[in-house]
Amino acid sequence: MNIGIVVALIALIGFAAVATVLIGLSKQNVEGNPDYDKKIGKNTLRLTLIYAVATIAAVLAFIWWYVG
């Protein structure tokens, strides 16, 4: 696997994380669903865990590829 592909994937994960947070905190999103404010902590925690697991998996895959 080319290092450029790995860097592109890491950049894509970072962009997706930032975009998700910005969309989740947008005024339009909160106004469209009044219950969202009540669940924002759980939603943020769940998304953070998903991105953390994906990032760790990507880093481990990169290390495995680099060493192997």
What confidence category does residue 67 fall into, taking pLDDT thresholds of 50, 70 and 90?
very high
Structural domain count, the chain: 1
- Residue 12 in any domain: the answer is no
Per the prediction, the chain carries an average pLDDT of 84
30 touches 36 (CB < 8 A) = yes
Domain membership of residue 59 as a residue range: 34-68
- pLDDT in the model for residue 49: 92
- pLDDT in the model for residue 1: 61
Q: Is the pLDDT of residue 33 over 90?
A: no
Q: What is the pLDDT of residues 34-52, one digit of tens each?
A: 776 677 788 888 888 988 9
